[in-house]
Chain A
Amino acid sequence: AQSVTQPDIHITVSEGASLELRCNYSYGATPYLFWYVQSPGQGLQLLLKYFSGDTLVQGIKGFEAEFKRSQSSFNLRKPSVHWSDAAEYFCAVAGGSYIPTFGRGTSLIVHP
């Protein structure tokens, strides 16, 4: 079975500060990992994905994520947050199944 844990329900940062959103997965082999963003009033959009190769992946909007097998983690990072980054962020894993399992999401609040 595959599962995803996003331990932080809410994260608050100041505009311009760095950001790290945590994601831990459970799957026996190398999984396919994704981060999606859900902005207010908009559908979910893929930020980035990992399925092999370089463990540091770059995505859209200046986001990056690092796959760490030893920690079963795929944390999302951004060096400088913009007010427009305020949204709900979902980590997802697709292991042996073609059906991605999503975490419960982390709500990002950006203070001016």
Chain B
Amino acid sequence: GAGVSQSPSNKVTEKGKDVELRCDPISGHTALYWYRQRLGQGLEFLIYFQGNSAPDKSGLPSDRFSAERTGESVSTLTIQRTQQEDSAVYLCASSLAGRSEKLFFGSGTQLSVL
């Protein structure tokens, strides 16, 4: 497809389990972002990938969160030992390089931790 694709669209898990969220960016987009949106809140930055540079992980809330990206393609966000406060919509976005470039967002993964 032409847009940013995220899977799964919904994920229900039990507290303490690990989850993996996937993002397929738009082809040719070198920049990839992960944000978290808690209910009624704004977007909280998690991690940023730009080409082959080291990712900016400054937004990851704890060492339970990690993300990988292979080249300029798919990215996975992994949350280990999930907690109830991890419940949120996880949004992925991609863009061409540059601060003036707009972000193209996926529809997000709704994560519910019971």
- A83 to chain B minimum Cβ distance, whole angstroms, is 22
Convert B19-45 into 0s and 1s, putting 1 for each residue whose CB lies closer than 8 angstroms to a CB of A. 000000000000101010000011101
A43: Cβ under 8 A from any B Cβ: yes
Q: Are A98 and B48 in contact (CB under 8 A)?
A: yes
| Interface residue total, chain A, C-beta cutoff 8 A | 22
B17: Cβ under 8 A from any A Cβ: no
Q: Which residues of B contact A36 (CB under 8 A)?
A: 103, 105
B56: Cβ under 8 A from any A Cβ: yes
On whether A44 and B91 interact (CB within 8 A), knowing A90-B43, A104-B41, the answer reads yes
- A65 to chain B minimum Cβ distance, whole angstroms, is 14
Convert A53-88 into 0s and 1s, putting 1 for each residue whose CB lies closer than 8 angstroms to a CB of B. 000000000000000000000000000000000000
On whether A99 and B105 interact (CB within 8 A), knowing A32-B100, A105-B42, the answer reads no
Q: Are B99 and A102 in contact (CB under 8 A)?
A: no
Q: Which residues of B does A touch, CB under 8 Å?
A: 3-4, 31, 33, 35, 41-43, 45, 48, 50, 56, 59, 91, 93, 97-100, 102-103, 105-108
Given A49-B102, A90-B43, A98-B48, 6 more pairs with CB closer than 8 A = A6-B42, A45-B105, A90-B42, A94-B100, A98-B98, A105-B41
Q: Which residues of A does B touch, CB under 8 Å?
A: 6, 32, 34, 36, 42-46, 49, 51, 90, 94, 97-105
